[in-house]
Structure 1
Amino acid sequence: MLAAANTAIDKKNPAALPFSALSKDLAINTLSVLAAADEAVKSFRELPKDVPKAFIYTGNILNINPIPGLLSNGIGKAATAHLISTMAAAYRDEGFNFYYADERKADGSPAYAAVDGEAHARMYLQLAEGKESVPCFATFVKGVGYKAFSSDARSKV
């Protein structure tokens, strides 16, 4: 289980985010994901070929939708989204799947406080089983499952 961090800042002066605080938050929000991904790859290589292999990171819309008060968390989400898409591309041929899962409302807006545990469980099970083709940026909607949004200007890795 990974944690998340965000240093509170003045929304009208996000450039004042202390470097030391951002460094700490990035260690929690992104570097820990890289360490976990490395361990996952090592473990995946020890599993039988026919066993589905999925690494799922719980993201949100911050990787593409900036919110000034959540600067360090957004930087971490954007960096981690890049990390996940890189892993998805690099390990695809080995059958390892990497996902940045992001629950949205039906209109594509962020779920924020309305995130749904059951919707996450259903989506994560779908991703873990690997029976359906879902891109690494796995945006999903409660009651629908995976759904692509036109506002997502990201690759379909």
Structure 2
Amino acid sequence: MAVVVPKPVVLLLGAGSNIGDAVVRYFSANKFRVAAVSRSMEEGVDSGGVLNITADLGNPDAVPTIFTKVEAHWDVPTVVIYNAASRTLQLPNDPMSTFSITQYQHDHNVNVASALVACLFAVKGFARLPPSTLKTFFYTGNKLHVMSSPQALTFGMDKAAMAHCIWDCVVAYHEAGYKFYCTDERLSDGRPARELMSGEARAKAMLALVEEPAQQPWCYTLVKGKGYVNFEDLDKGAARNVDAE
């Protein structure tokens, strides 16, 4: 009798439109069981076989329960994708005049605190998986950790914080074989993709990185239709600018 090997599990935290939808489609079509988390979806397994979990990622204490539910229903996730975000814009010429600590605490919980807890529980799970299993954590980033945008002051602070977290995890867990990525979609000239962001391009890149055994550049700058493009020299030069992008 042939041994049936269970499909690996991907946990998507922040299952919104665009990137979230594309991740569900791509990974489901490529032999993954998908668990998707958002505030608005109805909890349970949908007609496509996706395990939907309702949770508010503005509350970091909700994250451990998410991992417990996924493991109880299926197994330890081999891939964890943190795609949730909360952004409050400020006045571009006077961002401090509109700053609200209450609003920032909420945004920070979504962008950093819950992401950090998700990373923690991903690593705990990775340690319990067989050594031969490929294990990957993704954080949906953007160019804000290497560019100025005063109206997105606090959002940029949070993106920079998690970029640092990803970098440190790459260094710390390299020998264990765990992979970590901050995905950052750009236009071909290196500008941020913003409203032209392609969920399909990001999902395609993440799937390829999951299947690649070796750690690739942790700050994974990608361009739709091209894949990874190295913008390091351009980004270093931007640090000398006093103009926002």
TM-score by length of 2: 0.59
Structure 2 counterparts to residues 1-157 of structure 1, below 5 A: 1-2=13-14, 3-16=84-97, 17-131=99-213, 133-149=215-231, 150-153=233-236
Contact residue 179 and residue 215 of structure 2 kept, 8 A: no
- The 1:4/1:81 distance shift into structure 2, 3 A limit, reads same
TM-score, structure 1 length as denominator? Answer: 0.90
Aligned residues: 153
Report the 3-state secondary structure (helix = DSSP H, G, I; strand = E; otherwise coil) of the residue aligned with 2:148: coil
The letter of the residue matching 1:140 is: L
Residues 87, 68 of structure 1: alpha-carbon distance in 2 compared, 3 angstrom cutoff: same
Provide the rounded CA distance (Å) in 1 between the counterparts of 2:229 and 2:89.
Answer: 32
Range 2-11 or range 44-53, more displaced: 2-11
What residue identity is the alignment partner of 2:93?
A: K
The structure showing larger relative contact order (alpha-carbon pairs under 8 Å, at least 6 residues apart) is: 1
Equivalents in 2 of 1:67, 1:138: separation in Å?
20
| Contact 2:180 2:215 (8 Å CA) reproduced | no
Contact 2:187 2:224 in 1 (8 A): yes
Runs of 4+ aligned structure 1 residues displaced above 6 Å come to none
5+ residue gaps, structure 1, are none
Q: Which one has the largest radius of gyration? A: 2
**Residue 88 of structure 1: SS of its match in structure 2?**
helix
Deviation at 1:37, TM superposition (A): 0.3
- Structure 1 residue 131: Cα displacement: 4.0
Question: 1 CA distance for matches of 2:123 and 2:146?
Answer: 27
Distance across 2 between alignment mates of 1:19 and 1:117: 31
RMSD over aligned CA atoms reads 1.5
The one-letter code sitting in structure 1 at the alignment partner of 2:116 is L
What 5-or-longer segments of structure 2 have no aligned partner?
A: 1-12, 15-83, 237-245
Secondary structure of 1:99's partner? strand
The structure carrying a bigger helix percent of its residues is 1
Cα separation, 2, equivalents of 1:22 and 1:133: 33
